[in-house]
Amino acid sequence: MADFPVGQMTWKVPGATECSLHLRHHEDEPWQHYKNFPEYFLPDPPGFSEGYATFLALLKKNWQSM
């Protein structure tokens, strides 16, 4: 994972019925599914929630969990 701007992460966007990792760089941007960010995407270990590896990696890079 290269150096990219710090952003925000959420597991459930407003109005959604399912939980999945969503990202954005700035609070005025719409949330996007984490797979739309190939520069951040990491494969998850078997049995883990989809997006968990990416979430942990970005959390270590000071991304904000909302």
Maximum C-alpha span of the chain: 34
Q: Is residue 43 part of a domain?
A: yes
SS3 37: coil
In a domain, 1, yes or no: no
In a domain, 44, yes or no: yes
**Structural domain includes residue 28:** yes
Compute CA distances 29 → 3, 24, 39, 42, 48, whole Å.
Answer: 20, 6, 18, 22, 28
Record the pTM. 0.85
Q: DSSP character for 66?
A: -
Amino acid in position 55: F
Token pair of 4 as six digits:
């990219």
Provide the domain limits for residue 59: 8-65
Q: pLDDT tens across 2-61, in order?
A: 566 789 999 988 887 788 899 999 999 999 999 999 999 999 999 998 899 999 999 999
Would residue 51 count as lying in a domain? yes
Tokens matching residue 60: 């270590």
Q: How many domains does the chain have?
A: 1
